[in-house]
Amino acid sequence: MKIGILGLGLIGGSLGFDLRSQGHDVLGVSRRESTCQKAVALGNVDEASINLSLLAGTDVVFICTPISLIVPQVEQLIHHLSLTTVVTDVGSVKAPIVQAISPLWDYFIGGHPMAGTADSGIEAAQRHLFVDRPYVLTPTTTTPTMAITVVEEIVRSLGAKIYYCQPEQHDRAVSWISHLPVMVSAALIAACMGETDPEVLQLAQNLASSGFRDTSRVGGGNPELGVMMARYNRQALLGSLQQYRHNLDELIHLIEQENWALLEQNLQSNQQARPNFVE
């Protein structure tokens, strides 16, 4: 198959590695000429260019640019494609992207591989990044079966676990397990920095160990990613944050009331629930 990748970074480059190793003809387009040259030299793609016209004649195109560029890029790309080229994206938020692209291109299906690292750019690309990772596909009622089948087969060949859902369901689900934790963890760091005694603050920083490392990791990450989550998944994230505030208030109330029995019951049910999210 002739497969196009638009945006040669961590996700696009990793896809290129695996698709090439399966014998597909992989054509890449990226913003910088230097990235195109690296992608060919590293073996992510067979050919690369900064011109979208390279993707004319492809059977499928994966859009792997930063979220804010996905829709504008598709608007330009479709002028170069034949009418039945399947287009899919890897953006971490689905509803706004699917809503904007579906009226523009019949053979579009939204996707989101739940895989990644803290690094970015073509040098961060890895082989087998998607093996055993969830990969969400969000067809709508009008998505042609052919588009679903083509993307499903490619995603399956990457070794990923496929999940189907509606774009809005995807956004609510990732709000709970990905976007809310970033905001909660960021607020945790900010709260600690609110300690007014500099000696106590210094002591806390010296004593911080694995518990703080685990709970502060996602809140201390790339600020651009956090803003992207809030901006493109605003409604779902606000809903999750409001529910979180409610749970926090409940804990405060129990501690104020010294209701240790109910607090223990609360913590016990959380202990039981956690394995449903992470093994």
Mark 118-137 with x for binding to ligand NAP (rule: CB under 6 A) and - for no binding. Answer: --xxx-x-------------
One DSSP character per residue, 25-41 reads: EEEEE-S-HHHHHHHHH
Q: Which residues contact 35 (CB under 8 A, 6 or more apart)?
A: 8, 48, 121, 122
**If binding is defined by CB under 6 A, does position 8 make contact with ligand NAP?**
yes
**If binding is defined by CB under 6 A, does position 11 make contact with ligand NAP?**
yes
**Helices 180-192 & 234-256 angle (0-180, nearest 10):** 50
Q: Nearer to ligand NAP by C-beta: 92 or 254?
A: 92
**If binding is defined by CB under 6 A, does position 32 make contact with ligand NAP?**
yes
Stretch that binds ligand NAP, among 89-97, 147-155, 170-178, 189-197 (CB under 6 A): 89-97
**If binding is defined by CB under 6 A, does position 30 make contact with ligand NAP?**
yes
In the set 4, 16, 110, 113, which binds ligand NAP (CB under 6 A)? 113
Closest CA to 7 of 55, 42, 78: 55
Query: Position 91: which residue type?
Result: G
- 3-state class (DSSP) for residue 111: strand
In the set 4, 16, 28, 91, which binds ligand NAP (CB under 6 A)? 91
Stretch that binds ligand NAP, among 25-33, 131-139, 142-150, 200-208 (CB under 6 A): 25-33
Stretch that binds ligand NAP, among 74-82, 109-117, 162-170, 212-220 (CB under 6 A): 109-117
Q: What does the buried/exposed string (b/e) look like for 44-78 if buried means 16 or more CB atoms within 10 Å of the residue's CB? A: bbbebbeebebbeebbbbbbbbebeebbebbeebb
Q: Nearer to ligand NAP by C-beta: 6 or 78?
A: 6
Query: Position 82: which residue type?
Result: S
Stretch that binds ligand NAP, among 5-13, 15-23, 79-87, 255-263 (CB under 6 A): 5-13
Closest CA to 138 of 176, 105, 90: 90
In the set 45, 67, 86, 137, which binds ligand NAP (CB under 6 A)? 67
Dihedral of CA atoms 180, 181, 186, 190 in degrees, nearest 10, equals 90
In the set 48, 90, 95, 174, which binds ligand NAP (CB under 6 A)? 90
Residues lying near ligand NAP in the complex (CB under 6 A): 6-12, 30-32, 35, 64-67, 69, 73, 90-92, 112-113, 116, 120-122, 124
